[in-house]
Each structure stands twice: as structure tokens, then as C-alpha cells.
Structure 1
Amino acid sequence: MTPTHTASHAPAEAMLSPGQAIAAAHGAAHEVLLETDDVIIELTTLPVRPAAVVVTFDPILLTQRSKPFAVDFLLKCHADVVSVRKKAENFYQPLSCATFDAVVGPVLARYQRRLAYGSSLGAYAVLYFCRDGYDHVISSSPRVSAHPRFGTTHWQRLVKFRHEAFDPARPATSPATVFYDPLDTQDQHFVQHEIRRGWPSATYVTLRHAGHPANQFLSEIGFITPFVRALVRDEPPPVLDLRRKAQSGMYLLTLANACLARGKPNWAEALAGRALERAPYLDLARRTLAEVEIVQGRFKSAEQRLIDYMRRQPGDGAGPHLMKRLNAQRKQAARAREQAQHTLAKAAEQAAAQADTPVALSASRPRLWVQGLSHWLRNSDHALAVRGLRLARQWRRLRAAKSSLSRDDVVWAYQQFLGREPESEEAIAGHLHLPSQRALVQVFLESPEYLQRQQRQGATGAGRALQVGAHGADGPSVAVIGNCQAPGLAAVMAASCAVRQVMPLTGLNREPDAFRKQLKSLAAKADIWFINPGNTLAREAFAETARPGARLVTVPALMFNAFHPDVCYAQHRGTQQLTQQHYNSAIAAWAYSRGLSVERAAALFCPEAYEGLGYMDAWPRAMDHLRRSFEASDLKADYASFALHIQRQGCFMHTPNHPGLAAMTALARLAARRAGITLLDAPVPGELADGLSSTIWPVYPEIAQALALDGGSYTWKFVTRNLYVQGVRAFVQQAFRSYERQGIAPADLELRSLNMAQLADVLGPLAGRTNRPASAP
């Protein structure tokens, strides 16, 4: 194929392709290196050959009829550009690595520096095609929506995926920087479970709430341009400074989508509107606003927004999908309105016949008028009226317009933007006068405290003064009484609450009489007692010996096994003595009790076993247990905020009954606030020692994937013993040897509180041993 050339003296611009037009504007030459029915590879060269050449791939929905990705910018950086383009959206599947190398390889050999740069689909393509021989690869939010595992249904139906998977046996050798948002589930899974397989040595930069593609966010905070320019010129790259993230429209839009997902459409509308003000070109904000209006039942305006969005983004399948959803909800709302009106009309007729007071009913706003039906409702028990009331409420929810600000709105704003609870009820009341959620968001985003917090979080090496043991001279003396979590709660209160002194006391390994004696000694000193709801000894001691005016606050003990469902207790069947290492793997212990070899036992750590044993489904049960533990305590009203906070922390437990410091901090501060104690600044990371990290059980990779967590591993950390066990086989071997050293024969090992029949039913076939040994129970 004869390549075509375009220089600055090219024909009229109207006859040029987008790539040729850009080349002509820079006085550069344009050459087609390869053109097939599916792809076209173009080379744009400056009049004087530079030292660097950059290979780029277009993102999704950009074809040869659009401007090529980053070519104009890279030419200004004094680099030649190889642009790989699609003639239609095929996700570069017709292009093989062999063809790409044969075409592009000879061009790259002319230059001293070779780089690759892509965003979204282009970010995936540079990682797939540019694995070796490049000085740097820049990949921003790699994604390929046609991927059979990590893609989306819409594109999986339209495009057949042909590329090979990344091979850990052939890791890439080119240096690379990969930017992505770990809160974007699709990107997170793709990077963790596919990209890292082929690029184990790349630098991964996580950008929370940056959204997809992260390049938009990086551009709006002024980072990506100097970063790419520095790499092209072989200069030190700039430092990533996140202090300006609130100025990014993409950041605000991602927060808006998070609010919408959490059932806060008014907040989502305020943030998406703010994002559109900062970035009018951000069409995704228009789509989010349309989603908000669908949720709120504002169907006419939502339809107009969607029509505008589909006109701007005709290739996005989300637009037609949302239009179908809008029409379905519009029909549902109409049916609800008709049913509510019909039911209420019947209720009104029956009420009018039985009540002295006439009934008023509005056709345009279906609802029960309390004044008209008060007498009837007090003297009747008609299911029809109740059903009518519910239907009316359903109709109002479907039509819900913006409501006035509530207390919960203001509290949520404090938590979201300032990272703390409101200082007083007066502070909350001071924001309730604002006219809308949008105004409230504006106030918080422009507050000095929020701006200073962003600066502290983004400043390199900048930290505030630590407040270790910051006590209030006039604060109360508190006693924290409980299990192994009590010292951690006490440490957080001592460091971040206005208290005079904190006195922790655990009942572990204490005889009841000795424990009562300790409680009695605390009674004369403590103004507030924090105990677990089931601690009857502490309750009795408080009733008998507490000083006048002392308060009792019950705090739940944190138990949560969704991250570590395999952990169990085991004991000697005869002596009932627990194993020396209290935490055991149920799979490994069962395998030992059945006389399996180390190799066969290690093979049981597999997805089939985890599915059969319910490990993958442990999250709902664990959350339900956590909720019930809060309901049994004085922190019942704080469960929702606590659960939302800790879920954002990733894995917040070291073992099922040992929380991490983040969870302990949140629980301690909630308890202190509930007791009326003034809260000071929360402890900064590293300020307090994590006293419950003596054993850190891993989150198995398959379970981590099911929970959308970063990483996951098979590394067991027994910190106090300075023992780190890497790999399943090594762990099983160490466990078996431990049982043998304790003199526990396989038939003598007993697992506490576990369904042995289920273990046998699931693990037996996998181990190839469907029958139990004769010595087993």
C-alpha cells in the first residue's frame, strides 16, 4: 500500500481527514502506515525530527471521523505521533500484536525515546500492544467494554472479543504508570484481576472519586498535561497534588453518582449541577441529572434531558436504556395514581357513610385528608383506608419534588465534606434555613474548614499536631469495660475526646470475684461507664456501686466475619482445651481431622469450596449480625452512619472479632458523642498503636473479588510471634505441625460451633474422600 503524505501545503482543509487537518495546522507530514477495513495507523511527523515518538490509541466511540487522541497536544510537546484508529467501534479486536509490531516497529527504531499514551479503551490498548521496548507507557483508566468477563452486556453482544488474556508468565518489561479510580467497580476489577497479571511492575496510582476516565479528572486539576510533557522531554515528572480536586467537574460528578446510588437524589442533583457549571462539556453530568429526575418522578424534564444527551452522545447505549427505564416508571406512576385515586374514592364513600365529618378528596393530589377522616379512622379498622394511604404515599414518592432540608441532610454533609459530626444541634439548625440541597452543598464546598481539610490531605509531608492524650480538664472520667476491644476504645477516647481520664478494664481471663473487685474500685472514679450490652457483671456492679449521677452507656462489640468466614475455634475433643493458636482455618482443621495430606488439604482452598460453604455469601449475614448488635445497645440510632463509614474503609477487621483501628475509632467516637462527651480532632493515621493486630488473617483473593476489595492474599501474619506465612501450602503445613506439637491426633481435633456435616458434604467430594474415617464422630 502506498502511503499518503500531507504537508502544510495540503489541499483545502475541508477535504482533509481530522488527522491530516491537525498535521497541516502544525506544518507536519501525515502518512498512512496501514489501512484495512477495520483500522488505520497514521504517522504524523514534524519538519525537524524530534527525539521522541508517542504511540496513541483512540478511546471508545472515537473513530477515524473524529480528531485523533492527543495528537495536537503531543505535537506541541515536540514529539512525532503514531495514531492507531478504528473505522468503527471494534475495540481494536481485528488488530493483532504481530501486525502492529510489523507496521510500527520500524518507525519506532528511528527515535531515541518511545512512549505510549491512552485513555479508557486507549489505555487498555497501550498496555496490550506496547508491552516491550518502550521508555514509558501512560495508561489512564484502562477498560475494554467488550471483554467477556470485565465488560458490559451491551458491547459484549455487539463485538466479539479476540485478544489474548494477559499472561503472568510473560510480564511486560516497559515501565508504565496506570491511573484509575478504585471506587469504580468495573475499572477496579479489570486492573486488579487482569492488568496486574501482565504488568506486575507498573506503578498504579489510585484516584478515589476520579471517575472514568481518570484523564478527565487529571486534566481538570492541571496534572496530566505537565506529566506527559515531562515524560516526552525526559524530564522529572511533577508531583501529583490532589488539593484542587474539589475544582474538578469530574470529581463532583462522581460524588453525585455515589449519592444517587446511596438513595440521596437531591444531593446528587446538587453535585451534578455544580459539576456541569464547572465543566459545561461534561455530558455525563447531563445523564446523571436525567437519572435523578427519573428517580424523583420528574418525567417530562428527564425526557428532555435524555433526548439532549442522546443527541450529544449518539453512540452511548446508556441513553436508550435510561429512556426505557423512564417510560417504565412513568407507566408505573400512572398505574399507582389511578389505583390510589380509586381506592381513596372508595374509602371516602365508606367514611362519609360512617362519619359525621364530610370527607374532602383532591383529584390532583391523591391523599387522605386527616381532618375529614379523623373520626372514622379512630372508630374503624378498614384495610381499604390503610391501603389507600399507602398508595397515596407511593404516588407522592414517585412524583417527589425537592423537599426542604432535614437534619439528616445536614449531618450527612458534615460527615461527607468535613469528615466529622456536627459540633452541636445549634450548628445543625444554622443550616436548615438554606433553600435547597444545592445551596447546602455550595456552603460546605466553599467553607474554610473544607478548603483547609483539602489542603491538609493533599499537602506532601504536611501534618497537623498530634493530640495524643488530649484530655479536657473539666471533662468526665470514663471507664471502658469489656472484652479485648475495650483498651482500643479507651485509647481512642483518651486521644480524641475531652475527658479527664480513661480507665479500661477487660474481663478476659479473670475470675468473676476478681472482676467484681476491679469494678468496685472503678466505681468511685468513673462518671460514665461504657460496657457491652451482655456484660451482666458490669451492669450489676453499676447498679450497686456507681457514684451518684454516673451514667451507663452500652456499646456493641464488633463481630464481623464476612472478610474471614474460614476462621474458627478448635479444641481437643477430650480435654476441651483450645488450640494454642486460637484462630484456625475451618478448611485446614477439617482436612487434618480427616487425615488428609498437606497437598490435598491445600487444594481445598478453592472457589468451589468457598461457594459451597457459603463464604461468598457471608456479607449479608455479617451485616445483619452487626445491625442487631447495635440495636441491642444504646447506639441503635447510629448504626446506619457507622455502617456507611466503615464500608468505605475496605477490610476493617483483622479477624472476625478483632476490628482494625479505623473501625475502633469510629465506634469510640460514636459512643462518646452518645454520652455527651465533646469530640476533639480524630486521631491521624499512625497516631495510635493498633492493639488488636497481633494476628492479621488474610482476605482470600476469591472472597476479596466477590467483595470488590483491593487485592486479597494468602499471607497469614502472626505479628506477636514474628511469623509471616506466605501461601496456602505453607500455612496448612504450619497448622498441621502445630496440631502435632500439641499432641492433638486427627481424631481428637474438634471444631467449635460449626456444621461438620456441611463441611463433609462440601469438602469430602473435593478431597476425593466421601466417607468419614472410622474414628471420626
Structure 2
Amino acid sequence: MTQMLILQTADPFRYAEMLTITGRLNASYAQRHGIPYDAYVGIKRGYHPWHAAFNRIILLSDLLRRGYRGWVFYMDADAFIADLAFDVRAYAESHNRHALIASKGAEGGWWDINNGVFLLNFAHPSTAFIVEEWNKRFFDIDEQALSAGREWHSVMDDQALLHSVLCDNEQLRDSLYVDTEGLINYKARFVRQIIRGNGATFEERLAIIRSEVQAVEMAFGLTGASRQDGLSADAVLWCHRILLGREPTDWSIIDWLRTQHTSLPSLTQWFLDSPEYRGQAIGNFERGSPPLSRDAIVWAYRTILGRMPEGEDVVEFHLSIHQSFDDMVQAFLESEEFQQKILQKASGR
């Protein structure tokens, strides 16, 4: 099993309150998937609250020094997991050839990533260099400059330092994977981050985070506000993805559906009767339209079976036997593996 650590950090004066909210949900995800969770509140090196942003650099350096060889799944205090059923270990395993997974930042070069949410592979040969160089560049900032740096960007921040490491080392380009699937960061399917900017105040961001975290907790039955009868949230979310081909835009629908339906056939029929299912394509793949793409095969494995295909030969096999997206989906739904998942999802296991 892939070794992994979920890590968050915040300063004790401002973002600790935000971390209390997101950390509760993220720790629940960690417990659910058997992944260690660690949160550090404080300032490892620095003088002002925003200097806690540098904590990640020192925490990663400490792990490297201790000989850690697994993955680190890092999230800022304003980031939270929106899908408690997503298998982040399987996702990481599918990217073992990469050192770093992150989302796109602004409109800079290949190195311009957002380090508010990322996965770092300590077993990759490039990771030690990235962490050591990142740490070195941080400690190259002298104490006087750091002490005088009361405001954000008054010295190079953690993300700018990482950008400089990547930008100055073209050989790291192939070690970086930039998420193009909408999985992590911003309004993503798996991890969402309510970032600074867009005119929102800290208090407004805090209110948004509190509301969205509560919605996820209710959808997955983590609070007393959710009824415990009906189907599991996993089963409802799973049907939503398969039959509508997208993530829910309002997580309260998951909690409502799970309490309205006592069986998978009833739930499935509700989706099949919906105007959206009848009138739209599934995700980015038109129903019944050849040729079938590799992305569609991978989507089916991830969404319907909850795992990645065993290899390229398996993908090629499915490309050769299915004439259209509809044909492929039907085959996956009729597979023995999927039938076993029906039994598991219906019972909430």
C-alpha cells in the first residue's frame, strides 16, 4: 500500500480558526482511508503571521531528513476535501513517475503552479533536490529582511521560491504533473480551496468555507444533521457521477437523495428520469459517438470501478471491443466487478 501523509499548517493568530474547520473534515477523510494526518499551528521561522506560509518548506525538509519515502498530500488551511470517497492513494500510484502534482497557477510558464494544494512523491529521485533547494532559498533570506517583511510579498513568499526552483531547473519539467482533470484546488472535484483574491474578505472566505465544509459533512453523514437511514452518501455520489457525468454543484442534493431513496434501483431511476440525463451528454464524451478515446476508458475505470486500468494493454483492449461510449458504459455496468460494488455501495461499506 502506498505510504502517504496528509499535512496542513497555519499561523496561531489568524488562519488557525480556518484550519480548525477544514482540518476537521480533512482528518475525517484521513481516518476513513487509513492515512496519517498532521497539522502544525505556529511559525517555524519568521516574525509575522503570514510567515507561517513558509512552514511547509521546513516540514517537508524535516521529512526528507528523516528518510521519509512516501507521498505528502499538502493542503493550505483554506483547502478542504470535497469528496470523501475519492481514493487519493490510487491517484498517487498512477503518478509514481512524477515528483510533484499541483494545479496551474497564473499564466506563467510550465513552472507556474499553485502550491496551496499539492502532492509530493518522496520516492522520486527529483524530490530531494526540489525540497533541499526550496529550503536553501528560504534560508538565503536573511533575518533582518524577514523581520522587516510584515506584508505579503515584502520578501519572496513560499510559492515564489518554489517557482524559482522549478524555473531555474528545466530538468525538473518532466517530474512535474499539472492537474488538468479538475481534481485539486480552486473549485475542483476532490480538493477545493477558497483562495485569497476576487475581492473576498477573510471573514467572507471563512463563512464560505464553513458553509461548504458543513455541506460535505452532511452529504457524507458526518454530522448529526444528516439522517442515518437511506442509502450511503458514497452510493448517491457514485450514481450522480456515472449517470450525470459530473460532480454535484450543490452538495445538499446528495444528502437529500440519500434520505429519499432506500434502494439503488429507486435512486438510479430518479437519475434516468431527470431532464439532465435525458438531454445531455455524459461529461465530455458524447453518448453513442465513435471513435472511443483513451480518456473515456480511463474515465470509466475511475468513475464506475473506482480504480485505474491495469495498464495500456487493458486500455487498448477496451478500445478494440467497444464501438461507442454507450457500449463501453454498458459493459462496465454489467461486469462482475461492478456488480460486487453495487452490493458494497448499497450497504454503505
Normalising to structure 1: TM-score of the pair?
Answer: 0.17
Q: Which has the larger radius of gyration?
A: 1
Normalising to structure 2: TM-score of the pair?
Answer: 0.30
